[in-house]
């Protein structure tokens, strides 16, 4: 599982770092300025979310969509379009011009979309394990003990066969967009699809080690106890010192084994969406939030 996650996180971080300088360069462009760039420059240099903002603003329905976004955040998008844009710029702490830049439009789109990031019912968070004869399976949500996991909304399923001597490990995660994402929607992707050799099967307990990646920076052992319903993944160092991957990324040596546990994901998922709701409230207009705060004091 380690290498699948490594590649996944490297891809995310490399995209983020590549976009950071481009965002700084182009975010203050007006939509018309972005559209005036050559197609080659837009395609190769301008971040996707800023291109999307420029396309939105210059489309026939652009003003209507921006007004709707402003209204959803409790600005007077339809009643006072220019005033709403100025109030939004003021809340951002940026120069008040009444003309939104592509960076501001992307932020507006992100904030309006964040209001719709409601709790979902389709993602599994059920938990449990069962052993019957020579077959065993468990499922749940992975959390790293004493550390924050990069993808808290996840689901893992492990199916073990004593006859085959193998455990099949599959994990998916739901990723939430950030302000630089090209689309403001959930994405469910596969994090791992691996097989483990079973090294011990006795007294309703199973230990297993990866079939591949025996020379990687770290190695992960599965420790599954069906009697106590405790299921762990234990990552250990597989090198003497810091380890550099073939992709050029250096991973520091773990000071101690990193222990992850498969648990009921209900509280984890609820906490993530509660944080999204709390974040979304801060995106309403400052005038609207002030009125809400005043009501709380009555």
The full set of domains in the chain, from first to last, is: 20-114 (no CATH), 121-272 (2.40.160)
| pLDDT confidence of residue 253 | 81
CB under 8 A, 24+ apart: contacts of 185-193 = 185/113, 186/117, 186/120, 188/123, 189/8, 191/1, 191/4, 191/5, 191/8, 191/151, 191/154, 192/1, 192/4, 192/5, 192/156, 193/4, 193/169
Closest CA to 104 of 38, 41, 178, 54: 54
Q: How does strand 154-161 pair with strand 135-144?
A: antiparallel
pTM of the model: 0.74
pLDDT at 17: 43
pLDDT of residue 40: 94
pLDDT given at position 19:
72
pLDDT for 242 equals: 72
pLDDT of residue 213: 62
One digit per residue, the tens of pLDDT, for the chain of length 298 reads: 544 544 444 444 444 444 788 888 999 999 999 999 999 999 999 998 899 999 999 999 999 999 999 999 999 999 999 999 999 999 999 999 999 999 999 999 999 988 887 777 778 888 999 999 999 999 999 999 988 888 899 999 999 999 999 999 999 998 877 766 656 677 888 989 999 999 999 999 999 999 986 556 778 999 999 999 999 999 988 776 677 766 566 778 888 999 999 999 989 888 888 888 898 999 999 999 999 988 887 6
Q: State how far the Cα of 90 lies from the Cα of 81, in Å rounded to an integer.
A: 14
3-state secondary structure the chain: CHHHHHHHHHHHHHHHHHHHHHHHHHCCCCHHHHHHCCHHHHHHHCCHHHHHHHHHHHCCCHHHHHHHHHHHCCCCCCCCHHHHHHHHHHHHCCCCCCCCCHHHHHHHHHHHHHCCCCCCCCCCCCCEEEEECCEEEEEEEEEECCCCCCCCCEEEEEEEECCCCEEEEEEEEEECCCCCCCCCCCEEEEEEEEEEEEEEEECCEEEEEECCCCCCCEEEEEEEECCCCEEEEEEEECCCCCEECCCCCEECCCCCCEEEEEECCHHHHHHHHHHHHHHHHCCCCHHHHHHHHHHHHC
Assign residue 249 a region: left if phi > 0, alpha if psi is -120 to 50, beta otherwise? beta
| Long-range contacts of the stretch 219-224 (C-beta < 8 A, 24+) | 219/2, 220/1, 220/2, 222/158, 222/167, 222/169, 222/196, 224/129, 224/136, 224/138, 224/158, 224/160
């Amino acid at each position: 599982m380690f290498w699948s996650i490594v590649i996944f996180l490297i891809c995310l971080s490399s995209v983020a770092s590549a976009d950071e300088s481009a965002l700084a360069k182009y975010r203050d462009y007006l939509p018309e300025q972005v559209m005036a760039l050559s197609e080659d420059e837009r395609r190769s240099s301008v971040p996707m979310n800023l291109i999307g903002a420029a396309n939105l603003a210059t489309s026939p329905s652009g003003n209507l969509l921006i007004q709707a976004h402003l209204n959803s955040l409790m600005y007077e998008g339809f009643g006072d379009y220019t005033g709403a844009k100025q109030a939004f710029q003021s809340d951002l702490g940026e120069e008040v011009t009444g003309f939104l830049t592509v960076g501001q439009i992307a932020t507006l789109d992100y904030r309006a979309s964040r209001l719709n990031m409601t709790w979902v019912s389709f993602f599994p968070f059920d938990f449990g394990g069962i052993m019957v004869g020579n077959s065993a399976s468990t499922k749940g949500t992975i959390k790293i003990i004493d550390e924050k996991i990069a993808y808290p909304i996840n689901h893992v399923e492990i199916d073990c066969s004593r006859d085959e001597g193998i455990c099949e490990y599959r994990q998916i995660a739901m990723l939430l967009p950030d302000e630089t994402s090209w689309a403001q929607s959930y994405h469910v992707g596969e994090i791992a699809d691996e097989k483990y050799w079973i090294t011990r099967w006795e007294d309703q307990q199973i230990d297993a080690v990866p079939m591949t990646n025996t020379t990687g920076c770290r190695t992960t052992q599965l420790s599954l106890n069906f009697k106590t319903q405790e299921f762990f993944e234990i990552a250990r160092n597989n090198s003497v010192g810091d380890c550099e991957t073939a992709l050029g990324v250096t991973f520091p040596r773990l000071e101690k084994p990193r222990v992850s546990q498969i648990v009921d994901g209900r509280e984890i998922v609820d906490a993530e969406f509660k944080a999204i709701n709390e974040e979304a409230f801060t995106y309403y207009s400052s005038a609207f939030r002030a009125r809400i705060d005043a009501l709380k004091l009555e």
